Every structure is written in structure tokens, then in C-alpha cells.
């Protein structure tokens, strides 16, 4: 992970959450993690995970057949 960017293109739900959690564990409160994914279901997965873990789902956008997400560590 470089500069708080996690590239998990090609991974589906379970690995998406596992890798996101591991990356978030390395951050300080208030830091923002940028996640790159190709899994269309990851929108709901990451929104739900952030809410359940006390982190803030900042937003996402679709770009070049992939999704970019931003989650702020609580």
C-alpha cells in the first residue's frame, strides 16, 4: 500500500473487506484510505463495513471501468 492507496482490482467481497481492514489497521485516526476495485458489489459492501466499524465512507466514483472509494478512519 503506497500513500494510503489500496489496489484490490479483481478481488470480490470477502477479500475486499479483509484487505481493506488490514490497510485501515495501519492508518491513524482521521487518515483517508483510497481503494481501487473492479467489483460492482463493493459499493454496498464498503458502505456497510465502514458503518459497522466506526469509519466514515467518504464517497466513491466510477472511473475507467473501475471504482475508487475513500474511507476515513474513525
Domain housing 66: 5-72
**Beta carbons within 8 Å of 68's beta carbon, 6+ residues apart:** 34, 35, 36, 60, 61, 62
Q: CA–CA separation, 63 vs 55, rounded Å? A: 24
Give the pLDDT confidence score for residue 31 in this predicted structure: 96
The pTM of this model reads 0.91
pLDDT (tens digit, 9 = 90+) per residue, 5-36? Answer: 999 999 887 899 999 999 999 999 999 999 99
Looking at the predicted structure, is the pLDDT value of residue 2 above 70?
no
CATH of the domain at 35: 3.30.110.40
Give the pLDDT confidence score for residue 53 in this predicted structure: 97
* Catalytic-role residue among 13, 19, 27, 68: 13
Q: CA–CA separation, 29 vs 9, rounded Å? A: 25
pLDDT (tens digit, 9 = 90+) per residue, 29-66? Answer: 999 999 999 998 899 999 999 999 999 999 999 998 89
Q: What are phi and psi of 6, to 5 degrees?
A: -115, 115
Active-site residue, 13 included: yes
The structural domain count of the chain equals 1
Amino acid at each position: 500500500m503506497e500513500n494510503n492507496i489500496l489496489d484490490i482490482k479483481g478481488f470480490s467481497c470477502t477479500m475486499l473487506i479483509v484487505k481493506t481492514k488490514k490497510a485501515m489497521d495501519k492508518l491513524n485516526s482521521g487518515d483517508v484510505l483510497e481503494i481501487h476495485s473492479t467489483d460492482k458489489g463493493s459499493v454496498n459492501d464498503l458502505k456497510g463495513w465502514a458503518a459497522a466499524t466506526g469509519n466514515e465512507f467518504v464517497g466513491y466514483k466510477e472511473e475507467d471501468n473501475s471504482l475508487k472509494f475513500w474511507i476515513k478512519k474513525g
